[in-house]
Amino acid sequence: MSSKNEMLDKIAKNKPPKNTLPELLSFGSGERKEWLEQFSASSALNGGTTIVVKSWEEIESYLKSKFDLDKQTVSLSPDLNGNLDIASILDPHDLEKVELAILEGTYGVAENAAIWMPEEKLAHRALPFIAQHLVVVLESKNLLPDMHEAYRKIDVAASDYGVFIAGPSKTADIEQSLVIGAHGPRSMTVFILDL
Amino acid sequence: MAKTITHAEAAEAFLKDADRTQWHDETLWHVRTKRDTAAQKLPEWEQLRENASKVKEYVLSHLDELLVTFEKNAKANGIEVLWAKDAAEHNQHVYEILQKHSVQNIVKSKSILTEECGLNHFLEDKGFDVVDTDLGERIIQFNKQVPSHIVMPAIHLKKKEIGDIFHTHLGTQQGADDPNYLTEAARNHLREKFINANAAITGVNFGIVESGGFVVCTNEGNADMGTHLADVHIACMGIEKLIPRKADLGVYLRLLARSATGQSITNYSSHFHRPRSGKKMYLILVDNGRTEQLGREHFRNSLKCIRCGACMNTCPIYRRSSGFSYNATVPGPIGSILSPGMDLKKHSTLPFASTLCGSCSDVCPVKINIHEQLYQWRQVVTEAGHDSAAKKWAMKIGGKVMGSPSLYDFLGKSARSALKLTPKKLVYSRVNTWGKSRDLPEPPKESFKEWYRKNRKP
């Protein structure tokens, strides 16, 4: 008998009497204005930075002041410039020297600052991990209150791969001291475009 | 036959360093309080726990059907699915996949399951370079140890020791112990490993039945760095990790990180549904004792566990004895109800390594009745005759004495005088394990019965 059948037979013999599947949960969602504050606070706790802006120009000037844009910069946002054409990259290993990746997020979750980034918004799955710094632009109208709402809104299986990114790469494995930049981005900046 | 090491014996080595014990205790308690703060922020916390528990109960009672559907959906997504009834078969599957794709360099992200299966040693013996990429796991891999905690694998080490380990293995400056500096050294070392890896092995936090995908959670992003660069991704998953619906993740992702470390979510929650074009994705479904545990009425609920580690952080025994004292892949309270099911004799002292205070059950995000199961395992251990000879003997005599009031009175009187007269050395001999780090109470002059007769005579 195959291992599969052996396992399935044992389960059929050993499993408890059938239980019913509970309904999905949903909670009150509060005010949109609160979501923005909640998102910023959660993002800070996760080690990230959230900046609310009114225009793309504001983002541009912030990026100029904070990052060395002469280094390899990939922008997947049509409104912001990079210097590395992502279409020229066929092998993700060639992203090794990327200093800054600028991405557009889909939905952001207020309770934990997680932003859903499906593969289509990444060009390469490796991009938001291999870059030294990460910037994500999110429109304020795409904020959601909590994870229940997020899974209602997003079909996570519609993309071959997708990830909720809530902050930079971090670790506390050495005596519980928080260190940002374990393997991936050393910083994550979220611009919430509040038009 | 090898002597079984008791929990108390294994804890002794750790307890020798009083400062470290104190630090360990306080640090884990701090993590526990962070968990409390995070949980208390959500008025719906108890509803989430209840729902998470119920969903897992549904999964366990439909596990065979759900696994079949999960496999079908995963295959339709282009994921190759393999089944393994035990650790040996799991390791063999991994080995064959690696051979088939001529893999030499492997990066791994945290997987308690592969630890349980002894995968690293198996592969290293066959000549593969296996690199654990979670920082804590890399540290203990250098140090030739196993994780002492399922979420914080190197929590038993101080930064000074980690500095020494990195000095030896990564050439960091001697004596340097700044966490930022050490993490930077590991980052550079591991980046090279990621770039050169041909295969990435990950665990699985949740397998989604309805969509045939799976979710992996990390803070470091190491699972993603590995899988998105290597040509082959092997995900290893215990069969109990299923959830029926995508939307159930809303509940579990809210509970997992808050319970583990007090974070609202891990910084990366990655959802894998299909491999990258032209690349390979394998999923191994592992039993290794789980179907047996499912058949144990009192203990099957332990399979609801989502491996957050909250029960370890809160446990007064774990905090003061460290993970190694459990001598099992999963330490702490949850490990003490899982491990006896794998090997009752080897793990016979674990159900006794508890005060039965119930704190573990209180913090468990999926409401496993851990302390009740610990109590029930004690009955099983005793019935199987695996309790220690000294305890057996003491219980037998105790039973006789308690059953005879005259014998009880006589022995009580004798003990009160004997304790006064016996030299301290004899009272605190090897037989009295209680007296190792505690003083016995001063023996009273008379028993309660004697006092009552004198003072309350009608």
Q: Is A11 on the interface with B (CB under 8 A)?
A: yes
- Tell me phi and psi for residue B386, to 5 degrees: -95, 0
Average pLDDT over residues B434-450: 79
pLDDT tens per residue, range B204-235 = 999 999 999 999 999 999 999 999 999 999 99
pLDDT tens, position by position, A161-189: 999 999 999 999 999 999 999 999 999 99
The answer to whether residue A18 is domain-embedded is no
3-state secondary structure A97-136: CCCEEEEECCCEECCCCEEEEEHHHCCCCCHHHHCCEEEE
Nearest-CA distance B258 → chain A (Å): 10
CA A186 to chain B, closest CA, distance in angstroms equals 10
Task: Report yes or no on A80 lying in a domain.
Answer: yes
Smallest CA–CA distance, residue B136 to chain A, in Å, is: 5
CA atoms of B32 and A91, how far apart (whole Å): 43
Residue A59 is predicted with a pLDDT of 98
The reported pLDDT for the residue numbered B421 is 75
pLDDT per 10-residue tile (average), chain A, 195 residues: 96 97 89 91 98 97 96 97 96 98 98 98 98 98 96 98 98 95 97 93
Query: Smallest Cα–Cα separation from B95: which of B234, B289, B224, B238?
Result: B234
CA-based nearest residue to B304, from B6, B84, B57: B57
Q: What is the mean pLDDT of residues B426-434?
A: 70
Which residues of chain A lie closer than 8 angstroms to B55, CB-CB?
21-22
Q: Which residue has the higher pLDDT, B450 or A120?
A: A120
- Give percent of chain B with pLDDT exceeding 70: 97
How many C-alpha atoms does B359 have within 13 Å on its Cβ side?
19
Residue A127 Cα, gap to closest chain B Cα (Å): 9
Count of C-beta atoms within a 10 Å radius of residue B13: 12
pLDDT band at B458 (very low <50, low <70, confident <90, very high): low
pTM of the model: 0.93
Q: Residue A148 in contact with residue A24, Cβ under 8 Å? A: yes
Which pLDDT belongs to residue B99? 98
Residues A118, A193 contacting (CB under 8 angstroms): no
| Closest CA–CA distance from residue B301 to any residue of chain A (Å) | 10
Query: A14 vs B294: CB contact, 8 Å cut-off?
Result: yes
Overall domain count for chain A: 1
Which residues on chain A are in Cβ contact (under 8 Å) with B155?
176
Render pLDDT for B359-413 as a digit per residue (tens, 0 to 9). Answer: 999 999 999 999 999 999 999 999 998 877 777 778 888 888 888 888 888 888 8
Residue-by-residue DSSP string for B39-86: HHT-TTHHHHHHHHHHHHHHHHHTHHHHHHHHHHHHHHTT-EEEEESS
Q: What is the pLDDT of residue B422?
A: 74
Phi, psi of B199 (to 5 degrees): -140, 145
Q: For position B1, what pLDDT does the model report?
A: 44
Contact state of B266 with A166 under an 8 Å Cβ cutoff: yes
The single residue listed with the structure tokens 């780090």 is B437
**Would you state the structure tokens that stand for residue B193, as one six-digit string?**
């490993």
Domain that holds residue A41: 30-193
A10 belongs to a structural domain: no
Using an 8 Å CB-CB cutoff, list chain A residues near B219: 169-172, 182
Tell the burial category of B73 from Cβ atoms under 10 Å away from its Cβ (0-12, 13-18, 19+).
Answer: buried
Interface of A with B in 75-134 (CB under 8 A): 92-93, 96, 111-114, 124-126, 129-130
Cα(B341)–Cα(B339) distance, integer angstroms: 5
Which residues from chain B sit within 8 angstroms of residue A177, using beta carbons?
A: 159, 179
pLDDT at residue B438, as a whole number = 75
Give yes or no for residue B309 having a pLDDT over 90.
yes
The domains found in chain B, sorted by start residue, are 1-33+302-387 (1.10.1060), 42-288 (3.40.50.10420), 389-455 (no CATH)
Based on DSSP, count helices (H) and strands (E) in chain B, helices before strands: 22, 10
Closest residue in A to B147 (Cα) is A173
What is the pLDDT, as a whole number, of residue B2? 55
CATH code, domain with A56: 3.40.50.10420
Q: At which residue do the structure tokens 């219980």 appear?
A: B395
Do the bridges between strand B268-272 and strand B213-218 make them parallel or antiparallel, or are there none, so unpaired?
antiparallel
- With contacts defined as CB-CB under 8 Å, which chain A residues touch B64? 8, 11-12, 15
Vertex A172 angle, CA A168 and A178, to 5°: 65
At B330, the pLDDT band (50, 70, 90 cuts) reads: very high
Query: In one letter, which amino acid is B65?
Result: E
| Of A67, A7, A149, A55, nearest in space to B85 by CA | A7
Does residue A1 sit within a domain?
no
Mean per-residue pLDDT of chain B? 94
Using CB atoms, pick whichever of A14, A45, A165 lies closest to residue B295.
Answer: A14
* Closest residue on chain A to B226 (Cα): A126
Query: Distance (Å, rounded) from C-alpha B257 to C-alpha B218?
Result: 10
Contacts of B186 (CB under 8 A, 6+ apart): A182, B135, B138, B166, B170
- The yes-or-no verdict on residue B118 having pLDDT over 60 is yes
| Domain presence at residue A14 | no
Dihedral pair phi/psi, residue A49, rounded to 5°: -130, 135
Coil, strand or helix: which one is B191? helix
**Calpha distance B453→B458 (Å, rounded):** 9
**d(C-alpha B373, C-alpha B377), whole Å:** 6
Q: What's the pLDDT at B386?
A: 85
Residue B432 has pLDDT above 80, yes or no: no
Averaged pLDDT, B230-242: 98
Position B307: which residue type?
Answer: R
- Confirm whether A116 is domain-assigned: yes
Does residue A4 lie within any of the structural domains? no
User: What is the three-class DSSP state of B153?
Assistant: coil
